[in-house]
A and B are shown apart, each in its own frame.
Chain A
Amino acid sequence: MSTVTDRMAARPRAAGYDVERLRAEFPILATKVHGKPLVYLDNAATTQKPRAVIAAEAEYYERYNANIHRGVHTLSQRATEAYEATRERVRGFINAASPKEIVFVRGTTEAINLVAQSYGRSRLRQGDEILISGMEHHSNIVPWQLLCAQIGAVLRVVPIGGAGEFLFDAYSKLLGPRTRLVAVSHISNALGSVIPVKHVIAFAHQRGVPVLVDGAQAVAHAGVDVRSLDCDFYAFSGHKIYGPTGIGVLYGKEALLEVMPPYQGGGDMISTVTFENSTWADLPYKFEAGTPNIAGVIALGAALEFVATIGLEAIAAHEAELLDYATARVAEIPGLRIIGTAAEKAGILSFVLDRIHPHDIGTILDQHGVAVRAGHHCAMPVMQHFNVPATARASFALYNTRPEVDALIGAIHKAKEMFG
């Protein structure tokens, strides 16, 4: 054990990355669970929130709570400015060409449903094909199944490689003359595999097929540049990048969004309404019916500012080092099998133990203060591929540390002792 630990210790650490200072920004990290310091390793499910995010939400409600886009009064104007300032911040964060391409939604799930029901339903026909990967989250499977049932389209699936990697050859063969849309995750939430989305997109575009990228798991761990990727749609959730739940983003190329019909009807998305006919508001408001999650948007802005200040490159380097360290440490545990060993991975360590079900692992780890996810991770087909009912999953964030990995390893050993 000491050899691996020494080897890892010899690696250069991310220079100037002060994890203790960052941890101090997250009040919840001082929490104790069952009398033990919280070791929060369930970041792929949701991340914790820094003070700046909590404060931004509180400040809105305490100082300028008002509806947006309609009031002439001061508070409404302040709220509108803060809301639209976040749209601009999101645009910059993912390098979109225009704020018109940034649509606020509830989360990744709603973003994908929006594309399926607006773009998919208006553009696809019976017999057309939608191509996804075998390692998708249910939220990038089920909306397409619903669409297929509605219009008679066909869902095709790129199989997963043995290590949990994306099989580009299989993808290139499955992308056929009837393929009308490709939808893939950027990083697999169950395995941590990084999908080479830039190549996926370039290949699809050669055949005139647009691509949606599910960025839920990627946005906090990899720099996202939608213009460099040239993706047609990019979806992500605020709560996985240190922002609140219930707010997310759909990026769409302006030319595509422009011709898509509204997803939901209501206030804020119209230009004129009569009983005979209504006309739609300009982008992006056409897709933002009803009073939105104003506080959530504003707090998401604070989260992106927080992340940008640290720098995604520094965060990604820190997390990569933690993942390397954790991977080496768990490899020393007899009877432990890592699920997902693709060459390109980020932030996620899924594993199973001989003779100990992941739910029992989850309960025992929790008693040691270590929070991991145990289950199918909303990716049942991935579990079937690896022939496991479930996995335990540790997932890392900018505030995790090596001692926390050590706590995880210690708790796994306790679980093994308990089950003999």
Chain B
Amino acid sequence: MMSDLRELYQEVIVDHNRNPRNFGRPEGTNREAQGYNPLCGDKVTVYLRVENGVVADAAFEGSGCAISTASASLMTEALKGKTEAEAERLFEDFHGMVAGSGRHPDLGKLEVLSGVREFPARIKCATLAWHTLDAALKGKGEPVKTE
């Protein structure tokens, strides 16, 4: 029982929740999107600076639970230097890891969020920032909702 919980709330997640990386709105971003989970009230805004098809900078703002905050924080770290196509692929792979078939390539540090699979009520917490990223990459104007 407690091992499941530890699996969910690994040290890395607790750390990223307490000290989110890339939090705030940096200068010079040229893509952004908002995400909202009406069920729980979690809100996130994802900011990107995309140059020549490469994510040069990624950041986020918002409020949410440990899972959604850590997921957003880890996502912004993973994105930097990725091409847009690679970022989209990462979104799909991450989604597959926490919500889909479960089969996915090794996602490195993001693997700490794989335990979310065992907590169906929390999957949307983990994917909110990623759906928002997807919207930012696709230049969607409408806020993303997970419900």
Contact = CB atoms under 8 A, between A and B. Distances in A.
Interface in A353-395: 355-360, 363-364, 367-368, 374-376, 380, 383, 389-390
A316 B2 CA distance: 36
Size band of the B side of the interface? 20 to 34
B63 interface: yes
A17 B69 CA distance: 46
B40 A359 contact: yes
Given A359-B125, A367-B5, A419 B66 contact: yes
Interface in B2-41: 2, 4-5, 8-9, 14, 17-18, 39-41
B14 A418 contact: yes
A413 interface: no
Interface string B87-122: 000000000000000000000000000000001011
B58 interface: no
Given A418-B5, A418-B14, A360 B40 contact: no
A420 interface: yes
A358 B121 CA distance: 13
B128 to A, nearest CB: 12
A358 B66 CA distance: 10
B41 A383 contact: yes
A420 B14 contact: yes
Contacts, number: 57
A36 B41 contact: no
A380 B66 CA distance: 21
B122 A363 contact: yes
Contacts of B4: 34, 367
Given A357-B66, A359-B122, A389 B41 contact: yes
A357 B63 CA distance: 9
A35 interface: yes
Nearest to A361: B65
A364 B64 contact: no
Given A355-B18, A357-B66, A375-B41, A364 B125 contact: no
Interface in B34-55: 39-42
Most buried by B among A356, A359, A419: A359
A363 B119 contact: yes
A359 B68 CA distance: 10
Contacts of B8: 363
B9 A360 contact: yes
Most buried by A among B1, B63, B65: B65
B20 to A, nearest CB: 12
B66 A389 contact: no
Nearest to A367: B5
Contact of A376 (B14, B41, B119, B122): B41
Contacts of B67: 359-360
A31 to B, nearest CB: 15
Contacts of A364: 5, 9
Contacts of A419: 9, 14, 17-18, 66
A390 B41 contact: yes
Contacts of B40: 359, 374-376, 389-390
B5 A357 contact: no
Contacts of A359: 40, 65, 67, 122, 125
A357 B14 contact: no
Interface in B119-144: 119, 121-122, 125
18 contacts: A34-B1, A34-B4, A35-B1, A355-B18, A357-B66, A359-B40, A359-B122, A360-B66, A363-B5, A367-B4, A367-B5, A368-B1, A376-B40, A389-B40, A390-B41, A418-B14, A419-B14, A420-B18
Interface of B: 1-2, 4-5, 8-9, 14, 17-18, 39-42, 63-67, 69, 119, 121-122, 125
9 nearest A-B pairs in the assembled complex, by CB-CB distance: A357-B65, A359-B65, A389-B41, A360-B66, A34-B1, A367-B5, A360-B65, A376-B41, A390-B41
Interface of A: 34-36, 355-360, 363-364, 367-368, 374-376, 380, 383, 389-390, 418-420
